[in-house]
Amino acid sequence: MARFIDIHPVDPQPRLVTQVVDILRDGGVIAYPTDSGYALGAQMGNADGKDRMRAIRRLDDRHHFTLVCRDFAQLGQLVHIDNRVFRAVKAATPGPYTFILPATAEVPRRLIHPKKRTVGVRIPDHVVVRALLEELGEPILTTTLILPGVTEAMTTGWEVKEALDHQVDAVIESGEVTAAPTTVVDWSGVEPAVVRVGAGDPSRFA
């Protein structure tokens, strides 16, 4: 049965943030709110956690997992990014965008797309997520919580707990969140390609 942890959306309680991070460090999988719906998360090096998230969503091995980062300095350690791309990505973060970019050697091989050698990265605009990332000290391996046969991410902790009570280790509640997933921009080529339109305005990358 998943622990249900209610964290204040504006002033996250440090004690509760630490509890969630301890679950991640112990190999757990969490369901947590972001600025674009709920997501599943595990520690970056947690191979079993990745497999559990893949099973929950019934994903194939071509799926791009996302590394959710605390800030641009952390993001820059994970992906290769030139000056032109840097300016565009910097202007859009933090916010509801995921960027697919060439991965650096800092990213575990199993998290890299096997053919493109890319990884998804993003910096969310959500107080609780930033608190978790600050305490953890590294990115969270993440995938949007869109269940099989469903088109939108869940928006409240209670509905997540009801659906996934025996499949995750903790559900974080922090008030209702928007249902729209991130806008995904593939910048592994010369020009950006919007591969999913979501909460972020895609026109800036047209």
Mean pLDDT of 16-45: 96
80: left (phi over 0), alpha (psi -120 to 50) or beta: beta
pLDDT tens figures, 77-92: 999 998 888 899 999 9
pLDDT computed for residue 12 by the predictor: 97
Whether residue 175 is predicted with pLDDT greater than 90 in this model: the reply is no
Residue 193 φ then ψ, to 5°: -130, 120
- The residue ranking higher by pLDDT, 23 or 59, is 23
Fold topology of 3-205:
DHBP synthase (3.90.870)
Mean pLDDT of 177-203: 88
Whether residue 143 is predicted with pLDDT greater than 90 in this model: the reply is yes
Domain ranges of the chain: 3-205
- How many whole angstroms separate alpha carbon 80 and alpha carbon 159? 38
Confidence of residue 179 (pLDDT cuts 50, 70, 90): low
Residue 169 φ then ψ, to 5°: -95, -25
Full-model pTM: 0.92
Mean pLDDT of 116-123: 92
Share of the chain above pLDDT 70, in %: 100
Token pair of 141 as six digits? 């391996």
- The residue ranking higher by pLDDT, 195 or 64, is 195
Please state whether the peptide bond connecting residue 139 to the residue before it is cis, i.e. omega within 30 degrees of 0: no
The one-character DSSP state at 152 is S
